[in-house]
């Protein structure tokens, strides 16, 4: 047997006790299985895999105190009580304790966890292209702990993902060719040493093995905040924007090469959210935020990357290009 096969088998054996299925306790939970018509509308789009909630989504235990992580799109916004089932078919009651809507992350806590196994976390910042990875999840809500293998195909990917229920922008993702099927969402992407380096989150409809995972370092940061404050704290500015590069600046007709252009993705949404810190500070649609606290904003260091560094109410300085002239605007960030 090849050395890599042995490593993969050992990694899977190490991870499986921490991988769980998640289903709402309510018997009236809605059916969220994608219909044939909805699936056809997603052709060519980055798709958030979805399955019947009553048949179980995926997640994994990240802390021996009973904390489970999954995707927000795996759980039902109207449900707080869930059943967590481990690989040995033991079931536990669990409650949603906090969510990170920016990164599509949800945390649940198991009641009376007893002796459970937490999946060790790796360091997603050290991932290399071509590195072998394994995706584990409950495919279609029917085949518990299905494993698919692949490599890291790309890093720091930004995508707009959607299914018939939600639409969201996901940033800084790990791209992999390990199969991500409906029901895989929320399960771990692991390395051959059995450590989680991401949460399986999205795939490209009608494409061959293009999947995405949220980096584990984002989850670790949220977990620290959760343990310290009892909830995830995120700085809120209140703008919709696109980071400028050679492609996007032509679409939005921006004169600047880099920065965060404040713009709405649809006519039905405002670029600056009414009543938000950005609104109160006077930011406008069409503004390009060039620097934040004198740090240049680029596709490598985005506005969201800047905001992620704050966990309490803070005043920041934004350098804004408005109609070809730069001005500095002070904004008091709130925490959500």
Q: How far, in Å, CA of 272 to CA of 121, rounded?
A: 37
**Active site annotation includes 104:** yes
Which member of 148, 185, 201, 276 is catalytic?
185
Q: What is the CA radius of gyration of the chain?
A: 20
Contact 176, 148 (CB under 8 A): no
**Active site annotation includes 185:** yes
Burial class (CB in 10 A: 0-12, 13-18, 19+), 288: buried
Which member of 76, 100, 104, 308 is catalytic?
104
* H helix intervals, the chain: 3-15, 36-41, 216-229, 248-251, 277-281, 303-307
CA distances from 235 to 48, 125, 267, 304, 311 (A): 25, 22, 25, 9, 6
CA distances from 64 to 31, 110, 201 (A): 32, 10, 23
Residue 186 makes CB contacts below 8 A (sequence gap 6+) with 22, 57, 58, 59, 60, 69, 70, 71, 74, 137, 199, 200, 201
Which member of 73, 76, 201, 308 is catalytic?
73
Which bin fits 172, alpha (ψ -120 to 50), beta or left (φ > 0)?
Answer: left
Catalytically active residues are: 73, 104, 185
């Amino acid at each position: 047997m090849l050395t890599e096969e042995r490593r993969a088998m050992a990694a899977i054996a190490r991870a499986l006790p921490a991988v769980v299925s998640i289903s709402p306790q309510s018997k009236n939970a809605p059916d969220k299985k994608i219909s044939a018509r909805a699936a056809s509308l997603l052709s060519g789009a980055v798709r958030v895999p979805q399955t019947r909630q009553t048949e179980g989504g995926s997640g994994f235990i990240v802390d021996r105190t009973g904390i489970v992580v999954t995707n927000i799109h795996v759980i039902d916004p109207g449900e707080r009580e869930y059943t967590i089932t481990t690989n040995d078919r033991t079931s536990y009651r669990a409650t949603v304790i906090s969510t990170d809507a920016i990164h599509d992350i949800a945390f649940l806590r198991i009641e009376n966890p007893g002796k459970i196994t937490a999946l060790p976390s790796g360091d997603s910042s050290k991932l290399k292209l071509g590195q072998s990875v394994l995706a584990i999840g409950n495919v279609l809500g029917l085949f518990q702990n299905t494993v698919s293998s692949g490599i890291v195909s790309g890093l720091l990917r930004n995508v707009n993902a959607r299914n018939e229920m939600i639409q969201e922008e996901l940033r800084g993702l790990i791209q992999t060719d390990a199969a991500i099927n409906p029901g895989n969402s929320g399960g771990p992407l692991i390395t051959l040493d059995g450590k989680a380096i991401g949460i399986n989150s999205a795939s490209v409809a009608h494409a061959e093995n293009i999947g995405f995972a949220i980096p584990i370092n984002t989850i670790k940061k949220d977990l620290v905040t959760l343990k310290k404050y009892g909830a995830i704290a995120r700085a809120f500015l209140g703008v919709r924007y696109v980071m400028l590069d050679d492609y996007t600046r032509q679409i939005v007709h921006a004169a600047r090469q880099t920065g965060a252009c404040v713009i709405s993705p649809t006519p039905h949404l405002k670029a600056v959210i009414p009543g938000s810190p950005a609104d109160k500070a006077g930011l406008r649609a069409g503004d390009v935020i060039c620097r934040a606290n004198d740090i240049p904003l680029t596709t490598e260091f985005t506005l969201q990357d800047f905001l992620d560094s704050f966990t309490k109410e803070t005043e920041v300085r934004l350098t804004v290009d408005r109609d070809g002239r730069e001005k500095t605007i002070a904004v008091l960030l709130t925490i959500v």
